[in-house]
Structure 1
Amino acid sequence: MLAEDLDLAPWRERLARDGRVQIPGFLQPAVAERLAECLRTQVPWSTAERGQPDSPPWIGATLAQRMPAAYRRAVADFHFVYDRYLIVEAMKAGRDPHLPLHPLLVYFNSEPYLQAMRELTGDPSLAMVGAQATRYLPGQFLRMHDDRHEDEARRYAYVLNLSRDWEPDWGGLLHFVDADGNPDGAFVPRFNSLSLFKVPMKHYVGVVAPWARNPRLAITGWWHARPPARAA
């Protein structure tokens, strides 16, 4: 599924230098198109808000009614509102087997793909890839955090971008923040690009603007190391 002409060597050097990189043309074009169409028309989305159970998508009047309270919660603490489809959980439950997201996750956890990612990062411990589909509608957001997780061996976070013709002033960029709390660059979600960064790293997804013509679509997750061996 990786693009046939994809050369990871220059991106390996940039990732080692900066701790983050955005790789264009990551998947074969036909694969990227099929996944994008799946996200646009087939995925049974739920809306996720931190601290709340997932619910049917907030659209129209529901979005207008619920977002003000979400913004108030965001004033005080880390918070998020966006639409998602949890691929791992759906596969375990046997839901939606027709979606091409499921074979994609199988591929992401295949030895050839994992070996390519080990070579890209220089990290031989990478052993598992998790994934969820995400959709950001106007007004939705993900506040600043660093992806650190005590119970998971997260090494790298990734965003496989699947929105066509995204414009920077539509919002929804992946922003980075340096150790002093200053802006430190951003990635526009270019179609069929892989945004990748080392964990932990402070970042956030900017609020999607009301004038954005399309939702921000992606497949996101983490590359995990092998879990430590448990004592007998």
Structure 2
Amino acid sequence: MRLRLLAAAALAAAQIYRPDGARTPFKKSVPTPPRKTSSSHHISDGEHIKLDDGNLPSEIFLGRHTIKKPWTLGKYENNVITVEDMYRIILKRRLHPVAIDFREICHKDMGPTNQSIESICGRKFKDTTRSDRGPAQVPGILVRSTQNPCGLPYRMVDGAHRICRMKAAGISQGCFFVLDEATALSLVVPYPAHGAKAQRIKPIGRYEAIALGWKLAMDYYGIDADCEKRANWTAV
């Protein structure tokens, strides 16, 4: 019931105030819900979190962290962790982004030795479709674990394209949600078939997907450069 009320309130909103003062309309629809449903939805299903300006497309929530050599995790070496499952934990635990120095983070295409920005980010710069999915300031997700090819304190599980854009701009730290290794291991699922969406730990219904999607979208635009909530930011 609580999620239904939250979803209804979210759908009633026509726009949000972004940190830069601009108003961003959300595309929305209010279909008549079925009385009973056993279908499984994703946070990115539908248009409830698609922004008209394209800065936060819902596809960002369809991401997954691939666990394959040399990026094994625990005993797993052919698996994934879905971004959606991680965000559900982030919301459930009310985790807040924290500032982390990039020198402590290992992300895909990095290794044990110092590398140039071209060698660790060149492939991502070429993938413009993914690089342009959202603002670089959208908090990435890290796992506090040295089990990574760099042996660094943090393993990046979401946001490699964004951190590369910030590195290229000369930025040395950013805001990240941090999960512990045990939590990450509890979210590991089998590697999906080619072209298929990854299995999730807990399938969700449409109302929960809408509520989570809106909450995440509003949180993104409410974080300042110091990883704090903007006091004057509100949803309308």
Question: TM-score band, normalised by the shorter chain?
Answer: under 0.3
Q: Normalising by structure 1, report the TM-score.
A: 0.22
Q: Normalising by structure 2, report the TM-score.
A: 0.22
More strand per residue: 1
- Asked which structure has the greater RCO (Cα within 8 Å, sep 6+), the reply is 2
